[in-house]
Amino acid sequence: MYQLFCDSNCELWHTTVKELGLNVISMPYTMNDEEKLYDLGEKHDFKGFFDAMKAGATPKTSALNEYAYTEYFEPVLARGEDIYYITFSHQMSGTFNAMKNVIAQLKEKYPDREIRYKDTKSISLGSGTITYYGALKYKEGATMDELDAYLDDMIEHTATYFVVDDLTYLHRGGRVSGAAKVVGNLLGIKPILYFNEEGKILNITKEKGMKKALATLLKYMREKGDKLNEYQVCILQADCEETANRFADSIRAEFGEVDIVMQPVGPVIGAHCGPGTIGLIFHAKEK
């Protein structure tokens, strides 16, 4: 028997995680010198978080240390169970160096136990969508090998895009220069980001204005979407619910009554993309 783990950077909603019986590794962030762990929306004040960012607060994220991973994993191994951990993209954080060190140590201590992990090569509900469907397979009784194969296929067919509204936050993260931030904001430039096959987040294009940017996302969905009536379509919004609702309406107008899941962006992801960001995740012919 094995226990299935995910992390809070998959941003599945707290009720969904409980229904699926997932073990959650909580990722930390710091706001106004106070470290917190994201609770997957259970008690989080999303508006307060993004209002603070708009007012100039600079939240920071950090990696888990080896002690934290040991605290999550060892009790499961000690009671004779194995572990399968579905992670967010390893390209996005150094936290997985600590995780791998802990796994090596625990394998020496518990040689009869197995610890596997799968890099979804995405983040937020890009990772969450893969985790969600993987968890359904887990609940059906999938073996680790069967789950490996299923997740590999899901990773290859889950497309994740983000439109960033304000370049200030990408500048803080070192993704755009100061000059590009100033000029881009003045001109209303909206970068469209995506996750490549390695799990790196890259700028695929940019549009002038959010309306054009969302039209481009709709075009990507039109060109790349696959089995849209079989899999959830996820929309993420960072304190821009009205924009997200209009975007959802445009998706329904073109694709019919697809199953749309809409959620706020959490604080760890939001610290890097900032308020006004819109995300789109869908099942695709290719990632």
Dump pLDDT digits (tens) for 127-183: 999 999 999 999 999 999 999 999 999 999 999 999 988 766 554 544 443 333 333
- Residue 186: per-residue pLDDT: 36
Cα first-last separation, the chain: 31
Residues of the chain with confidence (pLDDT) below 70: 167-188
- Residue 184: per-residue pLDDT: 38
- Residue 170: per-residue pLDDT: 54
- Residue 225: per-residue pLDDT: 97
> Domains of the chain (ranges plus CATH)?
2-27+64-155 (3.40.50.10440), 158-283 (3.30.1180.10)
Name the residue type at position 166: D
Query: How far apart (Å, rounded) are the C-alpha atoms in residues 277 and 272?
Result: 10
Rounded alpha-carbon distances, angstroms, from residue 61 to 36, 108, 114, 136, 271: 10, 31, 30, 30, 7
3-class DSSP assignment, residue 26: coil
Q: What are phi and psi of 243, to 5 degrees?
A: -60, -45
- Residue 172: per-residue pLDDT: 54
Query: How far apart (Å, rounded) are the C-alpha atoms in residues 115 and 113?
Result: 7
259 burial type by CB count under 10 A (0-12 exposed, 13-18 middle, 19+ buried): exposed
Closest CA to 126 of 149, 157, 91: 157
Q: What are phi and psi of 11, to 5 degrees?
A: 60, 25
The residue count of the chain comes to 287
User: How, if at all, do strands 82-87 and 34-37 pair?
Assistant: unpaired
Residue 40 φ/ψ region, left for φ over 0, alpha for ψ in the -120 to 50 degree band, beta for the rest: left
Beta bridge partners of 87: 119
* pTM as predicted: 0.93
- Residue 287: per-residue pLDDT: 85
Token pair of 118 as six digits: 């799968």
Token pair of 204 as six digits: 């695929």
Q: What are phi and psi of 183, to 5 degrees?
A: -65, -45
